[in-house]
Every structure is written in structure tokens, then in C-alpha cells.
Structure 1
Amino acid sequence: MTSATEESLVLVGQVVKTQGIKGQVKVAASGEGAAAFPVGTIVYLKNNRGMKQSLTVESSRPHRQMTILAFREVQRIEEAEELVGCSVYVAPENLPALPADEFYWYQLCGLQVKTEEGTFLGTLEEIMPTGSNDVFVVRKNHQECLIPATDEVVVQVNLKDKTMVIRPLEGLLPENDL
């Protein structure tokens, strides 16, 4: 992987264990990864030592809270064992298209968040999944604000301008607006 390619890749999961004896692995999907493994997709794996490789998805099927993947290049359990612990990435163009009003997490991180009145709240730096809705972590000057990712709060997302406009619920923001 070149560094330019590597910078544009999207984290979609992590290999957590092997499955069977024919080289399959179980992948715990991240926020982006639920449908990121169609047959023929090239995925990029990176371990904690920085070692990288690209593999081609041969088969993909859901299994409980995970996805079981088989790769064309991996045929034995011994090869699959070397993949355990690796982070799994895909190129953004390999992610399924979303409806116009939905976004992938990687698209939202880095957006400048402001209120409808124009008050700058900070930069969306992290997204926390919760049971009912995701929560955006917005930071400014070492302070953070947690914004619920709901239609009631998020008024507009403009990826071109890298902005998000919110309508804060009463009591959501501190008195000094960060």
C-alpha cells in the first residue's frame, strides 16, 4: 500500500479469530463495516507491527455479531492464524452507496460543528456507538461536548464545506458554548 492509498482507506473491522480449518476468519465490524465485504472486494490488513497485505474476499457471511470471511489467498488455518488481531480496511469506493441523508463515520470525523445561529462548537473528532443512537464527540480548546446523532438535533451535513449544523436541545450545551 502506498501512503496516499493508506491515508484514504477506511477501517471496517478487526480479525478476532479463525473459523474452521480452511483459512476463514471472524471479523468484528466497526461502524463502517457492516456491509463492506462483498465477494471480490480487496481488503487491506494491518497488524500492530505495521505489516500490511491486501487480500481478496472469496466469501462473506454474517455469523452472530460478526462476519465470517474467506480470502482467495488464504487456504489453511495456519495462514489465517497470522491474520488474527489485524485491522481490516477497504477503499472508500468499495463501501456500499448510502441514501443521500446518511453518511459513513469517516466522512463525518473532522467536520466543523456549529449551531443554527452560527456559534462554532468545535470539531467532530469521534463517534461513539450507543444502543439507541450514535453520539458525536465535538472538541474545542480541550473541552468536549457530546451531541446526539439524531434527526432532531442534526439539521444539516455539508461534506463539501466540511460543516455540520445542529439544533441543540435545551440543556445540551454548557452555558459558555464550549
Structure 2
Amino acid sequence: CRRLSYVEEIMQKDFLEIGKVVNIHGLRGDVKIQPWCDSAEFLCAFDTLYRADGTPMSVEAARVHKGMAVVRFAGFSTPEQAESLRNTVLYMNRDDVELEEGTYFIRDLIGLQVVDADTGAVYGRLEEVLETGANDVYTIRTPDGKQLLFPAIGDVVIETDPEQGIMRIRPLEGLFEDAD
């Protein structure tokens, strides 16, 4: 098992992947970024993005074009300079975003132990968040390897505590009956 460097530890804790440079755009050094976040608009709101090694990249201009973020970084003013960024994964500093109460980064939810709010019974670990449009759906992997799904709605998710590594839920009647 490889030990993480100090920079890698900081990047995993404080920074989240936000997108990937997929192409250049135009002649002024702009790049197209495929957003790996809620939207291209969200990505365009940042003044600084980061490379995987923690190097900050100052955003001079950003706009949305056909669902992609088109960004010009300081120091990149030609297509050749922009080309050097192709396939670069970009990160945001989580401290640059203030989340509303009760909202979390998906990364902070993955791995939470999911327990019954009333009985304390352990259902398993949250494995995946499916974005369905109406509401998210959470996937749990049970200790015996089964997969359970439940809606991320207030009637089901009673408490989410990433600091303690736990999510308390109250399943709707019959929700997990077919899982037995």
C-alpha cells in the first residue's frame, strides 16, 4: 500500500474534482471544460481552480457554451498554451463554496454507515448517489453484499452526520421488504 504524500493528503481532504479540460476553444487560449459538478454555471463561478498537484490556476474569464465551461486561465493566451492543458483534471477548494444547511458534497456521503433511526440496525454503507432529477437516490451495500436503494428525501433521511460517518434513515413502509 503506497503512502500518500502531504500534497495528495491535502488534495483528497480539501479539494474536489470539478471537471476536465477536453479541448481548446478559439484563438485566445480558452479551454473547454467538461463539468463533473452540478453544472457548467457552478464551475464558471470560481476565481481559482487547481491542478492535481495543488497548483492554483487563476480564472480570467469563464462562460457557459453548449453545456460546457469555456475558461481562460491567466498565463494561457494562445491555442498552443491552451493545448498543454488538454486532459487536465481540475479541482475546486471546498472552502470556496458555502453549502446550504442540509446539503453535502457527494464525496462526503460515500462511505457513510447507514443505520435505522429507530432501532439502530445497520443497513450498510452508502455506496453511490444516483441523480434522478426529482430527487437523488442513495445506494447502500449491505454487510452481506446486497444492494438497497432509497430516496434522498426528508421523510426517509432523518440525519446526516459526515463528521461521525453516519446517516440515520427511516425507510418508508415496505421499502426494503423485497431485499430479504
Shared fold by TM > 0.5? yes
Q: Which of 42, 51, 55 is the aligned partner of 1:45?
A: 51
Identity of aligned residues (%): 30
For the pair 1:143 / 2:150, whether they are aligned, the reply is no
- Give 2:21's aligned residue: 15
State the superposition RMSD in angstroms: 2.5
Structure number with higher helix proportion:
2
Tell me which structure has the larger Cα radius of gyration.
2
Asked if the contact 1:59–1:70 (Cα under 8 Å) also holds between the matched residues in 2, the reply is yes
Point out where structure 1 has 5 or more consecutive residues left out of the alignment: none
Q: How many residues align?
A: 171
Cα separation, partners in 2 of 1:171 and 1:65, compared to 1, 3 Å: farther
Q: Which of 2, 8, 15 is the aligned partner of 1:3?
A: 8
For the pair 1:62 / 2:64, whether they are aligned, the reply is yes
1:60-108 Cα offsets, whole Å, 9 max, x none, are 22223222211102211122223232222122112x2111121121221
Aligned-pair distance for 1:32? 5.5
- Alignment TM-score, normalising by the size of structure 1: 0.81
1:110-149 Cα offsets, whole Å, 9 max, x none, are 2111122212111112222222222222223332222222
Amino acid paired to 1:11? E
- Give 1:160's aligned residue: 163
Cα separation, partners in 2 of 1:134 and 1:14, compared to 1, 3 Å: farther
- Alignment TM-score, normalising by the size of structure 2: 0.80
Point out where structure 2 has 5 or more consecutive residues left out of the alignment: 1-5
4+ runs deviating over 6 angstroms? none
- Give 2:124's aligned residue: 122
